Structure 1
Amino acid sequence: MSHAPSLWRGPAPLLLASTSPTRRALLASAGLDPETRSPGVDERAVEAEAAGLSPARLAERLAAAKAAAVGACAPDRVVIGADQVLDLDGTVFHKPSDRAGAAAHLARLQGRTHALHSAVALAVDGAVAEVFVVTARLTMRPLDQTGIAAYLDGAGPAVTGSVGAYQLEGVGIHLFDRIEGDHSTILGLPLLPLLARLRARGLLAF
């Protein structure tokens, strides 16, 4: 699914510890077209072990766990692990399980500003070498029950596939008054700082 000439200069193809089509598409659009592998990490177990951490640090812990899991099985590869945590005043949101859950999330988020902490971990030689997190802030416009229902009707089943019950690249854009942050950060993989780190390691063409 490459969308640009390959700019990757690693000795083996880049490995993304995720099966997220959005993250893979972001890397492909930047000319990196990675291979993907599911990390098989129990995110809720990691979260339980990380009790007491801030939402941003939790995102880092989850990204590192994914990179470590895949990196341990592929020590000859550069591995990218990523995770995103939605934070409303310190409360972490997970993907809703159904439409009712999505409606409940939107009722809490409407009219308020929440943070999306997007973390990335790089595993090199089978171990996590660095981890970073970038935060975007999104202000959802006020919505009543009728507005929430109209959005859910328009978005369809996709609302259960994303934390916060929205996809900004789809009809979820209608939910917001203001967005502060890079688009790739909001989609779950902050490209600019990631590319800078890969470049510093001599892994990119320029």
Structure 2
Amino acid sequence: MMSPAPTPNSAPRLILASKSASRRAMLDAAGVPYEAIPADIDERGIERGLSQSSPPEIAEALSVAKAAALAAQHSDALVLGSDSLVVAGGKRFDKPGSREEASDHLRFFSGKTLKLHSAAALVRGDTCVWAAPSLARLEVRELSEDFIQHYLTEEWPEVGSTVGVFRIEAMGVQLFKSIEGDQFTVLGMPLLPLLDALREEGVLLA
């Protein structure tokens, strides 16, 4: 016997544990009903405890931690957590803390390939019901110092909240020669598998 299709009154409440504009824009464009409540967790502390883990494992663990933090406070909701991290030249990069640090990151990225790991997780109560990582590779062109400073004049402080110092939907696209991978991964979340999971959980119509 088939389950009845979810209605606005029967579908689970979905909370996005993030203030990310790009993740909100993805969900809005896809027609996903949700509310956004940023999670407050010690990301760097969690990362230190995962020093032996791989980048996709770290991105997934942070996604779960963000969702779990809010799920503990909202037992009636399904909570979506998401995270992204960048690896370049064998080094993992966090969000820049200042414009000067952003300049340093861009100088290091110049001429290299960024591996962008994005992940998402769904948590209900104390249980992670779904999680998935994804990967995109972005080849950075050779960046002149003049370009880096002009770019940051235009894009700072908005790119200060991004691990790769770019918004692909804005001027950040000028950083790259080529991109390999899902556009949603580049924007910060594996949207297509997430939509499948939301259908399984009854948030979206199957």
Whether these two folds match at TM > 0.5 is yes
Q: CA–CA distance in 1 between the matches of 2:8 and 2:16?
A: 13
In 1, distance between residues paired with 2:143 and 2:194?
35
Q: Is the 8 A contact 1:95 1:165 kept in 2?
A: yes
Q: What secondary structure sits across from 2:13 in the alignment?
A: coil
CA spacing shift, 1:24–1:143, aligned 2, 3 Å: same
Greater CA drift, 100-109 or 83-92:
83-92
Q: In the aligned structure 1, how far is the partner of 2:167 from the partner of 2:65?
A: 25
Q: In structure 2, give the amino acid aligned to 1:18.
A: S
Deviation at 1:39, TM superposition (A): 1.5
CA distance in 2, matches of 1:8, 1:110: 48
2:203 corresponding residue in structure 1: 203
Give the TM-score, by structure 2 length: 0.90
* CA displacement, residues 114-156 of structure 1 (integer Å, 9 cap, x when unaligned): 1111111111244212211011110000112222223223323
Task: Say if 2:134 is the partner of 1:134.
Answer: yes
TM-score, structure 1 length as denominator?
A: 0.90
**Could you say which residue in structure 2 is the equivalent of 1:43?**
43
Per-residue deviation, 1:11: 3.2
CA RMSD of aligned residues (A): 1.9
The percentage of counterpart residues that share the same residue type is: 40
Q: How does 1:1-206 map to 2 (within 5 A)?
A: 11-206=11-206
Q: Is the 8 A contact 1:9 1:202 kept in 2?
A: no
Does the residue aligned with 1:204 lie in a helix, a strand or coil?
A: coil
Q: Deviations over 1:80-121 (max 9, x none)?
A: 011111111442111112221111101111111111111111
Counterpart residue identity of residue 50, structure 1: L
* Distance verdict in 2 for CA 1:7–1:179, change over 3 Å: farther
Specify whether residues 21 and 176 from structure 1 end up closer, same or farther in structure 2 by C-alpha distance, changes over 3 A only. same
Is the 2:130–2:197 contact (alpha carbons within 8 Å) kept by the matching residues of 1?
Answer: no
**CA shift at 1:158, angstroms?**
2.2
Write the distance in 2 (CA, Å) between the matches of 1:84 and 1:169. Answer: 16
Long gaps (5+) in structure 1: 1-5
1:20-46 CA distance string (max 9 Å, x none): 222122111111131111211110010
Q: Which runs of 5+ in 2 are unaligned?
A: 1-5
Q: CA deviation at 1:64?
A: 0.7
CA distance in 2, matches of 1:56, 1:178: 22
Over 3 Å counting, the alpha-carbon distance change for 1:121 and 1:181 in structure 2 is: same
Alpha-carbon distance in 1 for matches of 2:8, 2:115: 31
Letter in 2 for 1:56: P
Judged with a 3 Å threshold, the aligned counterparts in structure 2 of structure 1 residues 9 and 168 are, in CA distance, closer, same or farther, namely farther
Q: Output the amino acid matched with 1:153.
A: T
